[in-house]
């Protein structure tokens, strides 16, 4: 019955589809009999069309049929369920609050902990799967087309093919982590719109303390998810190549280097929340633009100043690339400035707005 649970299930299914496609693609190339697994992932159906190489249009028909069935099921369920009801009802909380919920931070943690735990577990699972298959994928890409390797080089720098692949994955995970930061600001906005923020602020709790309670999970949640991804990927990749001690810190650092960009989007979301809360969802549009410019720009060979509009294009391309502290420091400072602007705006505007 809650939107948070629905988003969590959707995120988990998306991560599962990503892993299934990876397993199936490796199975196709290696001939180990696991190629059929990619049919379970909609993310693999585009490749199964065989564009420009003997198109198989019936695969598109399969995708349309599955989409139609899902839409029909959604409409049927929406017409039959009670308003506010759902197959997975929200659990009723206790009649009295525990003593540990007396601070704004503890209350915010209670609201965010489920999504933080689910996202961290998903990042860890995806990291282990990708780390275990990265070496095999690198060998597959060596036999691939020169055009594909060229695109991968523009995305991942001048390291090995495995490193270039991991750089591309890290950038996608950075975007996913930034989404979680924006969602934290949306939780604060939802609490305000639902009228649950006013009773908290009626107590001896200032607006800044209340907002900081949501800001801390927004900053630490993505850090935990990226750290688990880096540790899991480094452990799995290290086991695959026989160098856990070298690969684990290497990939952990490559994952954490995404944090300043993630925090910059968190800061943008909180700035919009404090200054103009109705526009807080606009942070998603900026994030999407950064993703499109970063990935499509490399493939379409757009001018450097165009791809440079994406924050993620200025991050060090790790693993395999050269570490640069300046862009990370500038992004962190920008995130701090945006958070400060949002908190200043929150002190001056009406609640609810």
Q: Where are the domains of the chain?
A: 103-348
pLDDT of residue 342: 93
Residue with tokens 């995970």: 173
pLDDT of residue 306: 79
* Positions in the chain whose pLDDT score sits under 50: none
Say how far apart CA 344 and CA 207 lie, in whole Å: 10
Among 274, 273, 259, 184, CA closest to 226: 259
Residue 276 tokens read as 């103009």
pLDDT of residue 147: 62
Burial of 49 (0-12, 13-18, 19+ CB in 10 A): middle
Which residues does 95 contact at the CB level (< 8 Å), separation at least 6? none
pLDDT of residue 296: 66
pLDDT of residue 257: 94
Say how far apart CA 215 and CA 193 lie, in whole Å: 18
Say how far apart CA 164 and CA 320 lie, in whole Å: 8
Residue 285 tokens read as 């549009």
Which residues does 112 contact at the CB level (< 8 Å), separation at least 6? 184, 187, 214, 217, 221
Burial of 47 (0-12, 13-18, 19+ CB in 10 A): middle
């Amino acid at each position: 019955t809650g939107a948070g649970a629905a988003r969590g299930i959707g995120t988990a299914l998306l991560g599962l589809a990503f892993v299934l496609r990876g397993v199936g693609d490796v199975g196709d190339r290696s001939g180990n009999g696991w190629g059929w697994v990619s049919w379970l992932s909609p993310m693999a159906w585009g490749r199964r069309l065989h564009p420009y190489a003997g198109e198989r249009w019936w695969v598109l028909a399969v995708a349309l049929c599955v989409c139609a069935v899902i839409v029909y099921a959604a409409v049927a369920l929406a017409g039959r369920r009670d308003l506010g009801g759902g197959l997975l009802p929200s659990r009723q909380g206790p009649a009295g609050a525990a003593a540990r919920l007396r601070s704004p931070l503890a209350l915010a943690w209670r609201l965010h902990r489920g999504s933080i735990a689910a996202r961290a577990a998903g990042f860890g699972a995806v990291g282990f799967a990708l780390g275990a298959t990265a070496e095999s994928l690198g060998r597959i890409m060596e036999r691939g087309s020169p055009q594909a390797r060229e695109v991968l080089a523009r995305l991942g720098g001048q390291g090995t093919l495995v490193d270039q692949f991991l750089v591309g994955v890290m950038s996608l995970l950075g975007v996913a982590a930034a989404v979680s930061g924006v969602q934290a600001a949306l939780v604060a906005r939802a609490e305000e719109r639902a009228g649950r923020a006013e009773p908290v602020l009626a107590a001896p709790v200032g607006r800044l303390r209340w907002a900081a309670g949501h800001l801390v999970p927004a900053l630490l949640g993505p850090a935990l998810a990226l750290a688990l991804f880096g540790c899991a990927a480094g452990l799995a990749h290290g086991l695959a190549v026989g160098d856990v001690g070298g690969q684990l810190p290497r990939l952990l650092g490559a994952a954490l280097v995404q944090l300043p960009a993630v925090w910059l989007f968190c800061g943008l979301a909180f700035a919009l929340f404090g200054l103009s809360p109705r526009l807080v969802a606009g942070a998603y549009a900026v994030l999407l633009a950064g993703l499109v410019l970063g990935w499509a720009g490399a493939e379409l060979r757009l001018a450097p100043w165009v791809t440079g509009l994406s924050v993620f294009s200025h991050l060090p391309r790790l693993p395999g690339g050269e570490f640069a502290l300046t862009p990370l420091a500038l992004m962190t400072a920008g995130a701090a400035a945006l958070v400060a602007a949002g908190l200043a705006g929150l002190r001056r505007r009406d609640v609810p707005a």
